[in-house]
Structure 1
Amino acid sequence: MHNNMSRAWTVREYGEPDTALRLEDVAAPAPGPGQIRVRVAATSCNFADVLLCRGEYQQKPPTPFTPGLELCGWVDDIGIGVDVALLADRVVGQPTLPHGGFADYALMKATDAYPVPEMIDDITAATLHLTYLTAWLGLHRRAALTAGKVVVVTAAAGGVGSAAVQIARAAGAFVIGIVSGAGKAATVDRLGADVVIDRSRVDVIEAVKSAAPGGADIVFESVGGGSYEQATKYIGFEGHIVLVGFASGIIPQSRLNHAFVKNYTLDGLHWSLYCTKRPDLVRAAQRDIFDMAAAGLIDPLITSRVGLGDVPTALHNLANGYTQGKTVITV
């Protein structure tokens, strides 16, 4: 494709992904000061992209915009003030909206780009940023994960959940994964969870307490609603409930007297805040994630690889809970 044009999935009016997104031919964006332009090789789908389409994400970019919050690609142009050595580097990172990753070209802050080691391919690299950083920062930074801790991961078959299972396993934790349905249970078993609980078949609170009589040290909670309420029942003494999202759409109202009586901590995680507040920590975490991937300690659960034309269908499936792990778009 000629350098001056870019195919881009564009949201002009908020709505469900399969109706809000339109594939348009647009001028390839020019990088501003401190920015790089990336020729996208692979980009992965996240629940945040669904929320962006609906206008429900914590960032609400003005329309029109292109979603896509996690990509791997090649730096092909740089803005003022950017080190020329970045040109032609292969990087992962979070694009700067409105020029997201569901396109031929995306823009990114140069400081948000992380060079990818040669032994990691584009498709794998495109999944090793947002979801794994969420898991790493939630578990290691917010909850002080160490070997032997009991870690419960709700929605353990999803993109961020499957990453959390692997990060916890790599740290030597005892991992309990909660899923809905036999297919997802089998997936999480293969990921290496010590115990898998199918919430469609058993009482979650009883099952966790049976597997971990002292309760959970850490709950990695991404569902909200009833899932959060259950976590407050099986959390252990001085445990941490790490809140990373509300995929159910139900934001729970915490009874703080309950945390007070049971001595547990609620840890919020908005991972991208670390990019501005502690970029050094994000770099260290990303290095560790790449090292673990290269060593085979983590292996992203990539269940679907599709072309750029299939973005709306991929996000529709994600929005409706039909997917496991990650869907990667190759460009």
Structure 2
Amino acid sequence: MKAVVCDAWGTPDTLQVKDLQLPEPAPGQVRVRVRAAAVNFPDALLVAGKYQFKPDFPFSPGAEFSGTVSALGDGVSSFAIGDQVVGTTAFGAYAEEVLADAAQVIGLPNDTSDDELQLAGSFLLTYGTSYHALKDRAAAKPGESLLVLGAGGGVGLAAVELGKRMGLRVIAAASTEAKREAARSRGADEAIDYTTDDFRGQLKTLTNGRGVDIVYDPVGGDIAETALRSVGWGGRYLVVGFAGGGIPKLPTNLLLLKGSALVGVFWGEFVRREPEAHAANTRQLLAWLHDGTLRPLVSARYPLSGAAQALDALLGRDAIGKLVIVPSLAP
């Protein structure tokens, strides 16, 4: 099989496409013929040797995928050859075939279309994170206001779409008009530029001076304090990530003055510690995907040979929505 291979820590341009021996599933594993593999920020960190674990060389990046089951390890009875599935793994999805623990793979309905199967490959991490954040960590209630920072990216657009599905008034903040338009296409009630000097003033106007109920922040960096100052009484500030590169040092007196809360969101640990709650969330999300309620925005698809280009676009914050690797695409 062909796979994107990392032989040493480095930048995305060090990755190569190589022919590897087809892997055989160990007990409790399945092998999946990859239809699509999502391009996520942790993939770039893994290649650079900056992630929280480091696999042995050589390895393929890629932690999120969809496809068709092609082989079963001993003891796996929950799937059959040919089943369409979506799943996660530590690494290995930038390849024609990937191994994954059966417990981390979820079956899709028999009538799943090829287009839906490809979209599902970009779905679990972004929508799983955003749904866990809004439902479990923020306890969002219909009618509340939601400010989404970095609203043009994968998790940001998922938060916009889910926020509308959950009955929230969504204010999308993004740095370019193209990203703001993408947020509007996913239901944002307002879309504003958070790089302008009057960002806080815009939020005050849009909330009639009350401030926002929930901030969803996958960006971090310099904008975080301004967003925290824009939280209203009893608000919740969701710390999702630091795509902007900087970990902000926030003045905690602001939390006291507004009776607000700073809330961490770590979807991967939630999946590990609360598998039943994660499974229930995933079933709901996949049902919404299947009936068309949710529609991930995949802005670009790349062949295996385009993995470096895709990761560079992600790191440069040029991507709108999700980027995916499609092994069947010709170079």
Q: TM-score range by the shorter chain?
A: over 0.9
On the 8 A contact 1:180/1:200 being kept in 2, the answer is yes
Q: Superposition pairs for residues 166-181 of structure 1, below 5 Å?
A: 166-181=161-176
Deviation track 1:85-105 (CA, whole Å, cap 9, x = no partner) reads 4432111111233xx210011
Call closer, same or farther: CA 1:7–1:194 in 2, change over 3 Å.
Answer: same
Identify the residue that residue 55 of structure 2 maps to in structure 1: 61
Matched, 1:214 2:210: yes
On the 8 A contact 1:95/1:108 being kept in 2, the answer is yes
Matched, 1:256 2:257: no
Q: Output the amino acid matched with 1:27.
A: Q
Q: Distance between the aligned counterparts of 1:96 and 1:30, measured in 2? A: 17
How far does residue 249 in structure 1 lie from its aligned partner after superposition? Answer: 1.3
Paired residue total: 323
Q: Distance between the aligned counterparts of 1:82 and 1:151, measured in 2? A: 42
Q: Distance between the aligned counterparts of 2:74 and 2:105, measured in 1? A: 16
On the 8 A contact 2:67/2:117 being kept in 1, the answer is yes
Identify the residue that residue 313 of structure 2 maps to in structure 1: 317
Q: Output the amino acid matched with 2:171.
A: I
Q: Distance between the aligned counterparts of 2:320 and 2:254, measured in 1? A: 33
Q: Distance between the aligned counterparts of 2:18 and 2:189, measured in 1? A: 46
Call closer, same or farther: CA 1:200–1:297 in 2, change over 3 Å.
Answer: same
Q: Output the amino acid matched with 1:119.
A: T
Matched, 1:182 2:177: yes
**Which stretch of structure 1 is more off in the superposition, 313-322 or 255-264?**
255-264
Q: What is the aligned counterpart of 2:96 among 100, 104, 113?
A: 104
TM (normalized to structure 1)? 0.93
Identify the residue that residue 46 of structure 2 maps to in structure 1: 52
> What SS does the aligned partner of 2:59 have?
coil
Which runs of 5 or more residues in structure 2 are unaligned?
none
Q: Output the amino acid matched with 1:110.
A: A
> What SS does the aligned partner of 1:28 have?
coil
Deviation track 1:5-64 (CA, whole Å, cap 9, x = no partner) reads x21112222222123x12121112222222111111111111221222222223333333
Q: Distance between the aligned counterparts of 1:29 and 1:266, measured in 2? A: 44
Identity of aligned residues (%): 36
Q: Superposition pairs for residues 77-92 of structure 1, below 5 Å?
A: 77-83=71-77, 85-92=79-86
Which runs of 5 or more residues in structure 1 are unaligned?
1-5
> What SS does the aligned partner of 1:290 have?
helix
Identify the residue that residue 141 of structure 1 maps to in structure 2: 136
Matched, 1:238 2:234: yes
Q: Distance between the aligned counterparts of 2:47 and 2:189, measured in 1? A: 36
Q: Distance between the aligned counterparts of 1:220 and 1:63, measured in 2? A: 36
Matched, 1:28 2:15: no
**Which stretch of structure 1 is more off in the superposition, 253-262 or 285-294?**
253-262
Q: Distance between the aligned counterparts of 1:111 and 1:54, measured in 2? A: 28
Q: Distance between the aligned counterparts of 1:292 and 1:140, measured in 2? A: 15
Deviation track 1:142-187 (CA, whole Å, cap 9, x = no partner) reads 1111211111110001011001100000011000001001221222
Q: RMSD across aligned C-alpha pairs, in angstroms?
A: 1.6
Call closer, same or farther: CA 1:33–1:254 in 2, change over 3 Å.
Answer: farther
Identify the residue that residue 8 of structure 1 maps to in structure 2: 3
Q: Distance between the aligned counterparts of 1:24 and 1:295, measured in 2? A: 38
On the 8 A contact 2:16/2:305 being kept in 1, the answer is no
> What SS does the aligned partner of 2:324 have?
strand
On the 8 A contact 1:228/1:252 being kept in 2, the answer is yes
Q: Output the amino acid matched with 1:145.
A: A
Matched, 1:302 2:306: no
Q: Output the amino acid matched with 2:105.
A: A
On the 8 A contact 2:36/2:122 being kept in 1, the answer is no
Q: Output the amino acid matched with 2:238.
A: V
Identify the residue that residue 219 of structure 2 maps to in structure 1: 223
